[in-house]
Chain A
Amino acid sequence: DVKVTQSSRYLVKRTGEKVFLECVQDMDHENMFWYRQDPGLGLRLIYFSYDVKMKEKGDIPEGYSVSREKKERFSLILESASTNQTSMYLCASSLPGMNTEAFFGQGTRLTVV
């Protein structure tokens, strides 16, 4: 069974902390994504990785960075968490190609206080 696993379901962090959100997939997918989901705004792409050590900025990369040292793992880093980064974060993976389906993790609900 296909799996994308996010390390935490819920996280509470303090303003200014460095935060790591981890995502692991077991499908040998080249592509991995980080999205932010907010009510009324849908899913917005933060970063996209199409291979190990390769990344592209999405629509809202400010305040975030990513790391992909191994094919199965894609980390989202909040360098200095702020309250406006309180959100649901979704990780996804897919094979290359327009027709391929994305598989999603269960999401991490991050609260920055």
Chain B
Amino acid sequence: AQTVTQSQPEMSVQEAETVTLSCTYDTSESDYYLFWYKQPPSRQMILVIRQEAYKQQNATENRFSVNFQKAAKSFSLKISDSQLGDAAMYFCAYKSRDDKIIFGKGTRLHILP
């Protein structure tokens, strides 16, 4: 069975600094997608970024980028120029051919003004 592990329950970063959230996963499949979702306080979960396992190039969305290491089964999220609005729970997620989405336990990110 596939698993997703986020080893950092909470992190803090100074506003305007860069922070990296870690995620590792376990799977025997070769084709899959990985996602980072953001859940702001009392607001709906939204997609931050996605990465296809067959693409070597790391995905980037504005201030958000990933470091995807397929052999190591690692998928970290880097947030540059952190802003107060980035404060949220961040979930790493895995999806393969069966369409089920497997989530990690989440990392709560605090932004310090």
**Which B residues, 28 to 85, have Cβ-Cβ distances below 8 Å to chain A?**
31-33, 35, 37, 43-47, 50, 52
Nearest CB in chain B to that of A96: its residue: B99
Contact yes or no, A42 B32, CB < 8 A = no
Contact yes or no, A41 B99, CB < 8 A = no
Nearest CB in chain A to that of B47: its residue: A101
| Chain A residues with a Cβ closer than 8 Å to the other chain, count | 27
A-chain residues with CB within 8 Å of residue B101 when the two chains form the complex: 33, 45, 92, 94, 102
Contact yes or no, B96 A98, CB < 8 A = yes
Contact of A98 among B37, B91, B99, B106 (CB under 8 A): B99
One digit per residue, 1 when the CB lies within 8 angstroms of any chain A CB and 0 when it does not, for chain B 86-111 equals 00000100011101111111100000
**Which A residues, 61 to 93, have Cβ-Cβ distances below 8 Å to chain B?**
90, 92
Most B CB atoms within 10 A — which of A40, A96, A101, A105? A101
**Which A residues, 89 to 113, have Cβ-Cβ distances below 8 Å to chain B?**
90, 92, 94, 96-99, 101-102, 104-107
Quick one: given A101-B47, A102-B47, are A48 and B99 in contact (CB under 8 Å)?
yes
Contact yes or no, A98 B103, CB < 8 A = no
Nearest CB in chain B to that of A31: its residue: B99
Nearest CB in chain A to that of B104: its residue: A42
- Top 4 nearest A-B pairs (CB, nearest first) are A42-B105, A104-B45, A43-B103, A101-B47
Residues of B within 8 A of A (CB): 6, 9, 31-33, 35, 37, 43-47, 50, 52, 91, 95-97, 99-106
